[in-house]
Amino acid sequence: MSIEDLIADFSFLDDWEERYRYVIELGRELAPLSAEEHSPENKVQGCVSQVWLVTEPHAEADGPHLVFRGDSDAHIVRGLIAILLRIYSGKTPAEILAIDAKEIMAKLGLNEHLSPQRSNGLYSMVGRIQRDARAVSAAAHG
């Protein structure tokens, strides 16, 4: 599902309750992480909930692409992870770094409904994704 598809899906949801339920539903579709992947190295700092993010670089003809997997102990956060994975996973580091997550969250109508703590956690996850993209890019060009 593309970012455009996700934005279209959200545009059909009239109120915040429907969007909230949809975010939780997206989180239920996440593949579970293994016990080993729930590690301190994969834990995202800056989130109130427990969040783990696994970054897997895959070599492609046009350079590395990053595939992300994640999990949380909170249903809404699992849904936010699912949204971030749809936005970022499978892209090159340059594509990842060019994405404006705040603009996309605004188009999804999520910015104004997330608590400040949830927003901080969400952007901590985005920061982690961007940091990993920069590291893979530096390794590929270093």
| Mean pLDDT to the nearest integer, 52-63 | 93
Kindly state the DSSP code that residue 73 receives in the 8-state scheme. Answer: S
6-21 confidence digits (pLDDT tens): 889 988 888 888 989 9
- Structural domains of the chain in order of their starting residue, each with its CATH number: 3-141 (3.90.1010.10)
Cross-strand partners of 57: 66
The number of beta carbons lying within 10 Å of the beta carbon of residue 78 is 21
**pLDDT for the residue numbered 67:** 96
Residues 110-138 pLDDT 10s: 888 888 888 899 999 999 999 999 999 88
47 catalytic per annotation: yes
Catalytic residue among 23, 47, 122, 126: 47
